[in-house]
Each structure stands twice: as structure tokens, then as C-alpha cells.
Amino acid sequence: MAAWRVSREFPVTEDLCAHDAVTLAGLLRRKELSAREVVCAHAERIEAVDGAVNAVVTRCFDQALDRAAGADQALARGEEPGLLHGLPVAHKDLNDTAGVRTTYGSPLFAGHVPDRDALIVQRMTTAGAISLGKTNVPEWGAGSHTVNPVFGATRNPYDLSRSAGGSSGGAAAALAARMICLADGGDLGGSLRNPASFCNVVGLRPSPGRVPVWPISDVADVFGVEGPMARTVADVALLLMALSGPDPRVPLALDAEPPVAAEPGQIPGLLGRDLTGVRVAWSPDLGLPVEPAVRAVLAPARQVLADLGAEVVDAAPDLSGAEEVFRTWRAFRFATNLGPLLRAHPGELGPNVAWNIERGLELSVADLSRATLRHASLAERISDFFADVEVLACPVSQVAPFDVTLDWVHEINGEQQTTYLDWMRSCYLISVTGLPAISVPAGFTPGGLPVGLQLVGRRRADWALLGVAHAFEAATRHGRTAPPLLADLPGSLHLPQDLEKRGDVTVSVAEFLRPRQQVVGRLRRRDRHAERPGRLPGQADVLLHHQHVEPGLLGQVQRQRRPRLEHRRADRAAGHHLGGQLWIDPAALGQQHAFAERLHLRGQADVDGQLQYQPLAVSADVRDVLPKFV
């Protein structure tokens, strides 16, 4: 048995992995959960699902549990917790981690163990985050499909036959499968945004210099950035607070400090903003080929923004020259950083990496001069465009998640993509602008594949952009849909994402009760109310007991949950949950007739610890009754 398991002192009584980072941070600070409980729960989740997903490729659970114990002890001594106190994270396998294997996805570094942390890792650790391991990447981060010769491919939790995107594909997949609650990533041509879109999470490409990068090989690089990924915009903002701020070693680091939050629970309030009058430029394609399925998912987002009060206009910036600028400086970067490796190990680097290095070695001074001038011209046009609008809304990716066995996308709408970079244009053309850009969940294709909306803000307006993304997220709630993969876990329930659209009756179950002592307290209050004359048992505070689900339906249940049934009206209904079914006593509804119908349910854990239940089979008389209280 693994050492981290032996060290456990308590059972997990709820799905802690379903909570978002802001919620977990609050529970940890209030000592309603311990860091050890949280770490163990997420380590268990990794062991349960990552065999299928392949996202967390190097694990350090024992080290994580030691750090969690230290975090709990520090809090018990009254020490002020860091912003990320006790939160389980993982680091991209391109970022150095002292004492923990870092391979860069390259066979040449399969056993490499750095002796220092990258700055982004250091800042997360200093803020109290606890690393569970390293997330998978393409070899040297080349491309938006996460596969390498060391660990193989990372699969999309929403469909294991599909790509998780890249290069932060391991991070996005781990977040989607609720293995971690925060992750770091990098973005040169879309590596924070594309995998976020593919995996129904949130990825922010911050303004260059917002998150300082160290060590660096080019102090003037404004194309490659590092930044946060999470399942919600508020969680992304939480991590950005910990990552941003100047560093004396980084010449282009922005001096501006992040907004101040005394504790994580204040962050959603900081992000709240009224979008009335905000001018949003809407472009369904940026003049690029986009799959019809992606267009169809994104189309309703235009009206969502309008309904939020934004003034939406059809417009797109002139991005001419951005293609040449990106490819030139990307090739130069590859030649600078990896050229010596190619010379020392010819034939031992993957074809994408070798091709990009070779293109860089072919560059002339004239090529670099022309790209520099075109970049300056583009920057002027972008400034003019954003003087009239605050936000650009456009696709993150031109395609939905594709077959995981492909090397890259070779065709879009009949248009051939000749290199591994071509299909990523909707992201990398935005990279060249130097503007902050975020991918926020926007919906699903008919086949259940996630699609993200890209929102691009004004220069250095990262926090204002997060406010727009937060409003869109709150209005759409697509990020709450968990992968079907999680339905098969012990004690987990899954809601088919299309059920809501079929007009079936919905029974909503509120957030999980937290620690065991609170569960006992609520049970006692419920029992006390139930003893009053004229009250139905459970009428005051109905609890659904999810204890003995038949293995054939949902697997052997190891944990016990007691979610509380919420109603839109004051009347209460007695109910209990047995064998994966919810039985509602019609007498509790005040109905004169009775029925013996059992509603067959499946449900899904939301990112903030909520469950959504819906009937899969409902008789006509039940339909007449249920809408009166749900």
C-alpha cells in the first residue's frame, strides 16, 4: 500500500474534488477541512481516473501529504495562511520543479530532476499551494496536441478518444477530471487557451510581463507567457493574484500589483461588473476556416453578451502580418533555445520540434527586421481597433477536440493545413497582439465535445477582461458540466448534459454538507422539527441519503454524501435516495392523490460542490406534481 494511504487518519465523507478552488480555500481557512483531507481526496481521484486520461505523469503524493501536514500545523499555530493555502495543484512538465522529475516531454530528459524551481512554481508554493505532480505536455511544448514519446498522449476526459489540446493539455485534462483545482501553464501560440477550450475549463493568457518568467533565455520575449488555468474564472483570478507582480530579475515584468483580497472568498465580488454599454466586437471566425460544429456552439454567445447589456458589434481587427511575425519569432525562439540540442542529438528530437528549429536556423537578419517592422505596424492597428471596443469575442479553436491518434489537424472545412501550426491560427494570431485573452466554456457540440469562447481585452486590461469572462460564465454555467468519465467513480453521479434541453423536470440539490459535525448538526435540527405536531418527517430540512447504490448502477460506494434538497417554494418534500433512485412521498407535496412512481435519476457533481438531478423516466401524473415544488 502506498505510503500516503497508510498515513491517512480519516475517511473522506464528501466529494471534495467537486469544489472549486475559491470554495476549498474558504473551507480550509475556516478549518472546516484539513489540507490532508483535501490532498488525499485529490490523490485518490488521480489514482481513480488518470489511468484512462494520462494527465498527471509524475506524482509526488508523499511529499504533498508532508506539506499538507505542515500547512495544517501552521494554521493550528495561528499563522496567517497564504492565498493558496492547502490547495492541490500540479505543474506543467515544462516548468522546473526542484527534486521532482521534469522531462519537457523529451526522451533525452526522461530522468531529469532539476535542482531549482521555476519562478511560477516558487510563487505557487510560497502562496501555500500543494503540488501533486507534473502535467503532460507535447515534446518541448511544440503544438496544441499533448503527446510525447515519454508518456504518450493525454486524453480528453469528455471523450477519451479525443485530444485534450496542448501544450497545457495535461493541466486542462487534470482540471476537467477534478484531479486538481488549479494549474499553471504557458502560452506561446495558444497553449493556455486551446486546451481550456477542449476540456471545458478556463485558461488565461495574461499580458506579457503580468506573470514574470524566470529563468529566461530572451529578456525581450513578449510572445511566450505563463499564466493560470482553473475550472472557474474566479479560480483563475485567485491564481493570477498569486502569480503576478514584479520580479527584479525580469526586465519586462509589469510593476502593477494585483487587486488586494483579504481572503479568497472576496474574489467573485472583485470580478463582478455591469456590462451595460461595454462595446464587444464579435467575430465568428477572424476570417479563418472554422468547423460548422464550433460555429454552431459559439453562435448563442453573441446574444448572451447582448443580454448582459453589452453593445455587440460585428467587427474584427486587421491581423495582416501577424502570421509572418508569429512564425518568424517562434522559429527564432526554437533555434535559440533548442538549436544546440538538435546539433548534439540529431535524429533524437520529434519531427515538429526539429522542423521548427530548422526553420529558425534558416532565418536571416532581413527576415527578423521585416517581422519586427510588421509587428510594430500591427500593434498600431490593434491600438486603434481597441480604442473603439473593449473586448473582442471570437473562437478559441477553429476545430472541436479531434481524434487523439492524429498528429495534428490536417484539414478544416476542406482547407488543407500544411504544418502542425496551421490549425492553431485563431489563437496564435491573437498572441501576436500582446493583448490578454481568455478561454471560457461556451457549450458543447451535439457529440458532447466542449467548445470555448475566446475573449480578448485591451492592452494590460487583464482584470477588466476577467470581469467580462466572469459575467459570461455566470450567465451560461457551461463549466459546471462535469465529464461523463466521473459518473463511474464510487459515490459519484453524472447528469447527461442534454437532459436539461429536453424539458424534463429538474430536481436541484444544493451544495454538499461540509464536515461530519455539521452533518450531525443538521440531522439533529431536522429531527427536532420532525417531532413537532403537524409536521411531516423531514419537512423542515430534507436530506437525501446516498449510501447504498447498487454496484451495477454506479459502482461500490466508499463515501457517504448528504446533500440538501432545495426548493423554489416554501413547502418541503420528504424524500430519500436508495439504489440510485429518488422516491418522493406525494403526501409531503400536499397532494390528495398518491402514486407509487419512482423517478430514475442520474446526477452530476458541479464544480462548486453542487449536484444537479434530473428524472430519466417520468410518468404524466408525476410531471403534473413535481413542477409545483421544484
Looking up residue 150, the CATH number of its domain turns out to be: 3.90.1300.10
| Pair (458, 551) in one structural domain | no
> Can 31 be counted among the known catalytic residues?
no
Question: What is the reported pLDDT for 441?
Answer: 98
**191, 228 contact by CB (below 8 A):** no
d(CA 364, CA 376): 19
Identify the CA nearest to 213 among candidates 223, 198, 202.
223
| Pair (470, 549) in one structural domain | no
Residue 522: CB atoms within 10 A of its CB come to 15
| Pair (464, 415) in one structural domain | yes
d(CA 135, CA 152): 12
Residue 91 lies in a domain: yes
What is the tens place of the pLDDT at every residue in 59-118?
999 999 999 999 999 999 999 999 999 999 999 999 999 999 999 999 999 999 999 999
Q: Which helix (H) or strand (E) holds 604?
A: strand 599-605
| Pair (482, 494) in one structural domain | no
> Can 167 be counted among the known catalytic residues?
yes
Q: Pick the last residue of a domain from 432, 462, 487.
A: 487
| Pair (423, 472) in one structural domain | yes
Sorted by sequence, the CB contacts under 8 Å of residue 610 that are 6+ apart come out as 18, 480, 508, 509, 510, 511
Residue 384 lies in a domain: no
3-class DSSP state for residue 40?
Answer: helix
| Pair (573, 428) in one structural domain | no
3-class DSSP state for residue 498?
Answer: coil
d(CA 616, CA 359): 56
Identify the CA nearest to 296 among candidates 443, 497, 482, 478.
443
- Catalytic residue, candidates 131, 144, 167, 431: 167
Identify the CA nearest to 186 among candidates 89, 94, 57.
94
Sorted by sequence, the CB contacts under 8 Å of residue 245 that are 6+ apart come out as 212, 253, 257, 258
Identify the CA nearest to 424 among candidates 273, 529, 286.
286
Identify the CA nearest to 93 among candidates 129, 64, 58, 43.
58
Question: What is the reported pLDDT for 284?
Answer: 98
Q: Computed from CA positions of residues 95, 96, 101, 104, in that sequence, does the dihedral angle turn out positive or negative? A: positive
| Pair (525, 440) in one structural domain | no
CB-count burial class (<10 Å; 0-12, 13-18, 19+) for 474:
middle
Which spans in 257-313 are helix H? 267-271, 292-307
Task: Please give the distance of CA 142 from its chain centroid, rounded to a whole number.
Answer: 21
Task: Give residue 417's domain range.
Answer: 3-315+389-487
Segments in the chain below pLDDT 50? 1, 6-13, 491-630
Question: HSE of 273 in the Cβ direction (CA atoms, 13 Å)?
Answer: 18
d(CA 332, CA 364): 10
Residue 268: CB atoms within 10 A of its CB come to 17
d(CA 291, CA 575): 46
474584427: which residue's cell?
316
d(CA 333, CA 101): 24
**DSSP 8-state class, residue 41:** H
Q: Pick the last residue of a domain from 467, 487, 507.
A: 487
> Can 383 be counted among the known catalytic residues?
no
Residue 335 lies in a domain: no
d(CA 202, CA 228): 8
Residue 372 lies in a domain: no
| Pair (477, 494) in one structural domain | no
d(CA 244, CA 280): 26
Helices then strands, counting H and E runs in the chain, come out as 18, 23
3-class DSSP state for residue 384?
Answer: helix
Phi first, then psi: give them for residue 557, nearest 5 degrees. Answer: -85, 125
Residue 348 lies in a domain: no
Residue 354 lies in a domain: no
DSSP structure string for 516-576: HHHHHHHHHHHHHHHTSTTPPTTSSS-B--B----HHHH----S-B-EEEP-SSS----EE
Identify the CA nearest to 589 among candidates 616, 622, 619.
622
Phi first, then psi: give them for residue 141, nearest 5 degrees. Answer: 70, 20
d(CA 577, CA 515): 20
Q: Computed from CA positions of residues 432, 436, 442, 447, in that sequence, does the dihedral angle turn out positive or negative? A: positive
| Pair (123, 238) in one structural domain | yes
What are the distances in angstroms from CA 522 to CA 28, 30, 32? 21, 19, 15
d(CA 36, CA 130): 10
Strands 88-92 and 182-187: parallel
| Pair (466, 502) in one structural domain | no
Identify the CA nearest to 82 among candidates 122, 133, 134.
122
Residue 381 lies in a domain: no
- Catalytic residue, candidates 144, 163, 191, 197: 191
Q: Name the β-bridge partners of 152.
A: 148
3-class DSSP state for residue 203?
Answer: strand
| Pair (478, 495) in one structural domain | no
Total length of the chain: 630
Question: What is the reported pLDDT for 585?
Answer: 34
Task: Please give the distance of CA 92 from its chain centroid, rounded to a whole number.
Answer: 14
d(CA 583, CA 601): 10
Question: What is the reported pLDDT for 321?
Answer: 98
Q: Pick the last residue of a domain from 439, 459, 487.
A: 487
Phi-psi region of 318 (alpha: psi -120 to 50; beta: other; left: phi over 0): beta
Number of domains making up the chain: 2
What is the tens place of the pLDDT at every residue in 217-247?
999 999 999 999 999 999 999 999 999 999 9
Q: Which helix (H) or strand (E) holds 243?
A: helix 233-243
Residue 326 lies in a domain: no
d(CA 518, CA 522): 6
In one-letter notation, the amino acid at residue 418 is: T
474534488: which residue's cell?
17
| Pair (104, 165) in one structural domain | yes
Task: Please give the distance of CA 67 from its chain centroid, rounded to a whole number.
Answer: 24
